[in-house]
Amino acid sequence: MQWVETTGKSIEEAKGLALDQLGVGEDDTDFEILEEPRSGLFGRVKGEARVRARVRPTAVRPKLERRDRKKGRDGREEASREQGNREQDEQSAPTSRPDTVQSTHGGGGRQRRPQQQRRDVAPKTQREDSAVSAQQVGEEAKKFLSELVSAFGLVGTVDLREDGDDLELTVSGSDLGIMVGPRGNTLLAVQDLARVASQRRLGDHDTRLRVDVGGYRERRREALSRFAIQIADQVVASGEARSLEPMPSADRKVIHDVLTDHAGVVTRSEGDDPSRRVVIAPAND
């Protein structure tokens, strides 16, 4: 997973902006603090906090080899008894075997058996999982979404767009609202399922996968952009900060991106998911 770099008035603010860009919680993120604000005269703070962050890689589960479940405790005891019986039979067997050696001390005919060597079975080495390409992950997610559309009893097509490690899947059709849900909550669940069915199952940690249904995300982005600018203008006019309602990380990122170039305000995120929200404050606050 690639690193992102953010700055803010404090370490917490810079971390919050990084979490909004990555779209994950703090427990799933690795942070590197590059620079901390410095204290100046009269309690003023100089400089900005700068951090690097990335989604914490998760180890791929090794595929466990199938074991013979029919051999339980009784089976192991039976195998142990059979082994003991074989060793006893070998010790009591006639000494005229080809692998015996005559003793060189006199003619007593005493024979010596060579020491039986233990046979140790070398453990099987774990097969290393080969790296998967972004195209493989995208095709697996596309297959999953196509089957999910059919499971919903809907008719639609799934298109895949690749841009390096960025994968965007778009479901097109009519009457797809059930896959979006109120305020896009069902769409977020569908996206999470697609990630599990492709990225996690294939052991991929590099690609970024996003799902859109019926153009909902673009319409949502346009509406959020208008809303963010409207609230920002109100903040500039009143000089008072406004705290927005809790939003998912994708919506918070839209707010931050839209108001990045707005000269009169600054934005930050506060709280923990699912109650994390954007605060729009005057630039001089």
pLDDT of residue 183: 80
DSSP output for 27-55: GGEEEEEEE--EE-GGG-EES-EEEEEEE
219/176 Cα distance (integer angstroms): 14
Contact of 225 with 254, CB cutoff 8 Å: yes
Residue at a domain's end among 214, 236, 263: 214
Specify which residues 7 forms β-bridges with. Answer: 50
Residue 160 within any structural domain of the chain: yes
User: Percentages helix, strand, coil for the chain, rounded to the nearest 5?
Assistant: 40, 20, 40
Total number of domains in the chain: 3
Specify which residues 159 forms β-bridges with. Answer: 170
Residue 184 within any structural domain of the chain: yes
74/184 Cα distance (integer angstroms): 56
Judged by DSSP in three states, 137 sits in helix
Residue at a domain's end among 56, 79, 97: 56
Mean pLDDT by 10 residues, the chain (285 residues): 80 82 76 80 69 73 46 51 52 43 42 45 40 91 95 94 93 91 89 92 88 92 93 94 90 92 92 90 86
CATH number reported for the structural domain that contains residue 155 in this entry: 3.30.300.20
pLDDT of residue 86: 52
pLDDT of residue 59: 52
Q: Based on the domain organization, do 156 and 142 belong to the same domain?
A: yes
CATH number reported for the structural domain that contains residue 252 in this entry: 3.30.1370.50
Residue at a domain's end among 178, 193, 214: 214
pLDDT of residue 195: 92
Judged by DSSP in three states, 257 sits in helix
Residue 129 within any structural domain of the chain: no
pLDDT of residue 58: 60
Write the CA distances from 248 to 79, 189, 254, integer angstroms.
59, 12, 10
pLDDT of residue 70: 44
pLDDT of residue 96: 41
Residue 170 within any structural domain of the chain: yes
Give the residue numbers spanning the domain of 158.
Answer: 134-214
pTM above 0.85, yes or no: no
Q: Is the peptide bond before 246 cis (omega within 30 degrees of 0)?
A: no
Residue 232 within any structural domain of the chain: yes
Q: Based on the domain organization, do 144 and 163 belong to the same domain?
A: yes
Write the CA distances from 269 to 14, 254, 278, integer angstroms.
9, 12, 4
